[in-house]
A and B are shown apart, each in its own frame.
Chain A
Amino acid sequence: MRQVLYALVPTVALHVVFFGPGLLIQIVLGVVTALAAEAAALRLRGKPLPPFLLDGSAIITAVLLALCLPPLAPWWLVVSGVAFAILLAKHLFGGLGANPFNPAMVGYAVLLVSFPARLLQWLPPNVAGLEPASLSFVDTLTTIFTGMPPARFTWDAITSPTPLDALRTDLALGMTMGEAHTNAMFSAFGGKGWEWINLATLAGGGWLLALRIIRWQIPIAMLTALFICASIMSAADPGAYAGPLFHLTSGASMLGAFFIATDPVSAATSGRGKLIYGAGIGVLTYVIRTWGGYPDGVAFAVLIMNLAVPIIDRYTIPRIYGHAR
């Protein structure tokens, strides 16, 4: 599992480049919470600490959840989300290997449903033309721990919606894609900053594939399904629907495909099952982004497909040696 963390390094690095050091603080808070919650749960369940506490799974959950949160989100958001993920989504179901749902996504979904406004307070990327407020490391730290930006700033001055969120709002206001795209946060095919973060995640995911730590079926099926859905809709009405490249390089597309949906514990198990599972996540992500109530749909798409895993597994048992088809 350590390699999964290494594979996230490029993503985290670019995230810090574009959105400042907030993510690093969120990761530290998340990992400390995860280890504390894991230790407490293991103690309560009478399990030995050494092999389980450092198996890396709790740390991955914390890092993935931290990556989904706005960099300036208040400390209690990541702490409660990670604690919920580890204690309820993981250990209540039997701990490592027994959780039917992806713990990080359960934690994120709980936060998104409970504190939607806080989760939409993203920052503008640090690129030419967007001029984000210059927050020092201390400013970032104070904002996270007090829940308020430094006195010289207001929330409105420093925050910005994500490209997915902005596009969604603009389209809902009746703008066309062309009009929405005049916003400086969009680049030729994605959102500034976000497209690079997604490419870095793609690179990390490719490395995991090359190491055979993850298998190709889920990421390829998910990204292909997302690509096809977006292609069909944008071809049908280019004015009203974003194109496939925008979808692939926005939000948590790559993170979802290579790092979240590929969690083996909560995913389908056979090769064919993984293809169905991944494609289901891709389609649902598109549907939720386009017609649902939240700007990004990866978390809910993963959770819904987690729910479908037992049925997918049942109907995709591979042919066994010596059996007719």
Chain B
Amino acid sequence: MAKPGVRGGLRLDAHKERSTAQALRAASPVETLVLPLDQHAGAPAVPLVKQGERILRGQPIAEPGGAISSWLHSPTSGTVAAIEPRPAPHRLAAPSLSIVVANDGRDERYAESATPFDQLSPEQLREIIGRGGIVGLGGAVFPTAAKLSSALRGQDLRLLLNGAECEPYISCDDMLMRERARDVVFGARVLLHALTAQTCVIAIEDDTPQAAAALEAAIADAHDARIQLRRVASDYPAGGERQLITAVFDVEVPSGGLPVDVNTVCLNVGTAAAVAYWIRDAQPLTSRIVTVTGDGVLEQRNLDVPLGTPLAALIYDCGGYTSRMSRLIMGGSMMGQALPHDDLPVIKATNCVIAASALDLQPRAAEMPCIRCGNCAEACPAMLLPQQLHWYGIGRDLDALETYGLMDCIECGCCDYVCPSQIPLAELFRDMKPALTERLAARGSAAAARTRFDARTARLERIESERLAALAKKRQELAKKPS
């Protein structure tokens, strides 16, 4: 069992054909766009504009608020209507400080020039990528420039572009690869230069033949031998970062570590395309492809949507809700989050909106006690024992939770899915993690304090023994002296 390998996982109904039948199109423009300043991982961005100021499409309107943060650009020309807290697409729709842009419909573009990337040093290129407001579009929205810089500690880096869109319903990456494969490949070449890496693998699932054909053609056209395509089995969660790295490179990312610990930088294919638009076309990240799907919406398809577009407008753009609409989900059916209403903007993390009918997402049956059947352990891609974590989780036994690897849980939800007792396991694990994190951090500082104390004791002992030795020597010398 020591051999690394992809284990567990589920073969799920993908529900993707329904949104890939129609070609990608741009979303209809809207009058008001809402841009939360915290739509990336890390510190919120800081506004560069004032209320009432006229702005242009692609103009930076907020700058990074810390080392891990991101730029934000206006998706259209118009005026800054307000800078105020607005509900953001989280589970509770809690308000985030947002820049509200009133669209003037003129779509005037901010002057930026394309970057001849191969004439720049990798350092310059990474810095420029950062200014494009580019973050991971697979869902984690981690600032790409920060990821590239932190990856430099690895050696012989290899780039892995994640096109394995394993979660049901989401098809935005599939459509991107079908229709814009050249942009993905161009982005790959920019990223290879920025990382001084020599290999790039674009990984896709084996059930996306059109995307595979488009990418193969684009790679052939680019005449770049560093880039290759790899197909992986379409089992959920094949596109989980760790699972994909193991499937492609046959190594495991160490527990608590990052892909760079196995000399890999993993980015979403959408992120690579965003890099291409910024470096080649001087277009910062102001729009993204969003899958609108589910039986609760009339027209299921993918759209290129300006950031800040209200979900309500997006649904309207797709023909509106059907009578079967029951729940609104952002993300896929496994890890997506339920939204309380649709007066929320599309943000950089919005890969998919499911207007779910009762058939799409069946409400959970009543939870029953765990009977330790072990189905969850067989499905767990992290090779955990969710039934044991559940037992110790409800008992708040942090020692046992640590031993059984709570922190290695990737929250994919496979355990929930197979549980015959309908226990929301992933939710429990997500809720238990902060307590364990806190404790591990406390132990970390306790360990540091103990090290300091041991060093001090050793130092004092050494000083004392040196003093005694000096004293003894002096006594000897005194004794030798003839008196």
Contacts and interface: CB of A to CB of B under 8 A. Distances in A.
B372 A51 contact: no
Interface in A295-318: 313, 317-318
B466 interface: no
Contacts of A95: 369
Q: Interface on chain A toward B: helix, strand, loop, or mixed SS?
A: loop
A264 B253 contact: no
Given A51-B366, A270-B377, A323-B255, A317 B372 contact: no
A57 B368 CA distance: 12
A313 B391 CA distance: 13
Contact of A317 (B257, B371, B385): B385
A278 to B, nearest CB: 14
B125 interface: no
A319 B405 CA distance: 10
Interface string A40-68: 00000000000110010100000000000
B54 to A, nearest CB: 51
A264 B255 CA distance: 29
A264 B373 contact: yes
Nearest to B251: A322
Interface string A209-222: 00000010000000
Interface string A143-167: 0000000000000000000000000
Contacts of B408: 320-323
Contact of A319 (B246, B383, B404): B383
A269 B387 contact: yes
Nearest to A57: B371
A322 B254 contact: yes
A269 to B, nearest CB: 6
Given A96-B369, A97-B371, A98-B369, A317 B252 contact: no
Interface string B382-397: 1111011000000000
Contacts of B252: 321-322
B1 interface: yes
Contacts of B7: 321
Chain B residues touching A, range: 20 to 34
B2 A319 contact: yes
A172 B56 CA distance: 100
A58 B221 CA distance: 67
Contacts of A55: 368
Interface in B249-285: 252-257
A318 B380 CA distance: 12
Contacts of A52: 368
Chain A residues touching B, range: 20 to 34
Given A97-B369, A269-B388, A320 B374 contact: no
Interface in A255-287: 264-265, 267, 269-270
Given A317-B403, A319-B1, A96 B372 contact: no
A295 to B, nearest CB: 31
Contact of B405 (A269, A270, A313, A320): A320
B366 A320 contact: no
Contacts of B370: 97
A323 B405 contact: yes
A318 B381 CA distance: 12
A323 B254 CA distance: 6
Contact of A318 (B257, B368, B383): B383
B376 to A, nearest CB: 10
Contacts of A317: 385, 388, 403-404
A67 to B, nearest CB: 21
B301 interface: no
9 contacts: A55-B368, A97-B371, A97-B421, A317-B385, A318-B1, A321-B382, A322-B242, A322-B252, A322-B408
Smallest CB-CB A-B distances: 10 pairs: A97-B369, A322-B255, A320-B405, A321-B382, A264-B372, A264-B373, A96-B369, A97-B371, A321-B383, A323-B255
Interface of A: 51-52, 55, 57, 95-98, 215, 264-265, 267, 269-270, 313, 317-323, 325
Interface of B: 1-2, 7, 242, 246, 252-257, 366, 368-374, 377, 381-385, 387-388, 403-405, 408, 421
Given A269-B377, A320-B384, 13 more contacts: A55-B368, A96-B369, A97-B370, A97-B371, A97-B421, A98-B369, A264-B372, A264-B373, A269-B385, A320-B405, A322-B242, A323-B405, A325-B2
